[in-house]
Amino acid sequence: MTETYRPRRSVLYVPASNDKALAKISSLACDAVIIDLEDAVAPADKVSAREKLAGIFANRPGRRCEMVVRINARSSEWGADDFLAALRCEPDAILLPKVDTPRDVLEAGDVLDDNFAPDEMKLWAMIETPKALLNIGPIAELGRDPASRLVCFVAGTNDLVKETGILATPDRRYLTPWLMQMVLAARAGGLDLLDGVFNDFRDLDAFARECTEAAAMGFDGKSLIHPAQIEAANRAFAPSAEAVAEARSVKDAFALAENAGKGVIALNGKMVERLHLAQAEKLLAKAAAIGA
């Protein structure tokens, strides 16, 4: 999780070529929007989609909504121009697809620096290739260096299924080991982590179950392909009322004069340490940010 918490419970892909979808952004309750130039845009439409970026960002929602651009791979015929067009729009972040090594992130950061992009413009990285998984530790470590601008991983589960040939079962049993590897790496690097998309946007019950499981696994939110998925994601990745109440009781207990300086206290028949206080404070900050 980044130092200043930004809710990323629901992160909706919106094709830059889809005017109807773009017009709805300001009315959506998602925490972030990814304006997509990559997978959601046909090759014949990629240049015209890129040319729409300036207009999209000129009319960005006034409400608090993170705006991100996913470019095509910088090694592709569209990538370099996508990147320059995106940085000129000053999005909150640029999402890099097909990240395989730390160098992919560092080189992108160099381009931002060379073009005097503001420090507030960050980088997100898709983890969607076997090579990315093999290098995920060193890539995640960049999150500890603010100069890298890397703040978030996005699981590219569809591409991982395609690249590895594993069977995509409803319970994601064959993907789960890699998803947990992403969680460990993201936490080691201090990064946020978004789960991959759920393809059947009509099956909202199954989607809600997958969100609940992803939250239990440690993900911060989920990438979405349809506005109908926003509500379930927001609910699953937000602290429950019970969790907030428990966190508040831990914080209040440590604030008592008789507990000043103590490393361990008893609360409701349980041993509570200062590490639990840190967890409680983080959860309360998350709840406050979501409420705001």
Q: Are residues 168 and 245 in the same domain?
A: no
Q: Is residue 39 part of a domain?
A: yes
Q: Using the 3D structure, point to which of 204, 220, 236 is the last residue of a domain.
A: 236
Residue 81: predicted pLDDT: 97
Q: Are residues 80 and 195 in the same domain?
A: yes
Number of domains in the chain: 2
Q: Is residue 5 part of a domain?
A: no
Q: Is residue 32 part of a domain?
A: yes
Q: Are residues 97 and 220 in the same domain?
A: yes
Bridge-based pairing of strands 32-36 and 66-70 is: parallel
The count of other CB atoms within 10 Å of the CB of residue 115 is 12
Q: Are residues 196 and 271 in the same domain?
A: no
Q: Are residues 155 and 189 in the same domain?
A: yes
**Residue 208 sits in a domain of what CATH number?**
3.20.20.60
Q: Are residues 150 and 260 in the same domain?
A: no
What is d(CA 111, CA 88) in angstroms, rounded to the nearest whole number? 12
The one-character DSSP state at 241 is H
What contacts 229, CB < 8 A, 6 or more positions away? 10, 12, 198, 201, 204, 207, 222
Q: Using the 3D structure, point to which of 220, 236, 252 is the last residue of a domain.
A: 236
Q: Is residue 17 part of a domain?
A: yes
Q: Are residues 254 and 189 in the same domain?
A: no
Mean pLDDT, each 10-residue run in order, the chain (292 residues): 74 96 92 96 96 91 84 96 96 97 98 96 98 98 97 98 96 97 97 97 96 97 97 95 92 91 88 90 88 71
Q: Are residues 89 and 166 in the same domain?
A: yes
Residue 2: predicted pLDDT: 39
Residue 62: predicted pLDDT: 64
Q: Are residues 252 and 152 in the same domain?
A: no
Q: Are residues 194 and 281 in the same domain?
A: no
Closest by Cα among 143, 158, 156, 222 to 190: 143
Residue 231: predicted pLDDT: 97
146-179 exposure pattern, b = at least 16 Cβ within 10 A, e = fewer: eebbbbbbbbbbebbbeeeeeeeeeebeebeebb
What residue numbers bound the domain in which 198 lies? 10-236
Q: Are residues 248 and 231 in the same domain?
A: no
Residue 290: predicted pLDDT: 86
Q: Is residue 178 part of a domain?
A: yes
Q: Using the 3D structure, point to which of 190, 214, 236 is the last residue of a domain.
A: 236
Q: Are residues 119 and 257 in the same domain?
A: no
Residue 1: predicted pLDDT: 39
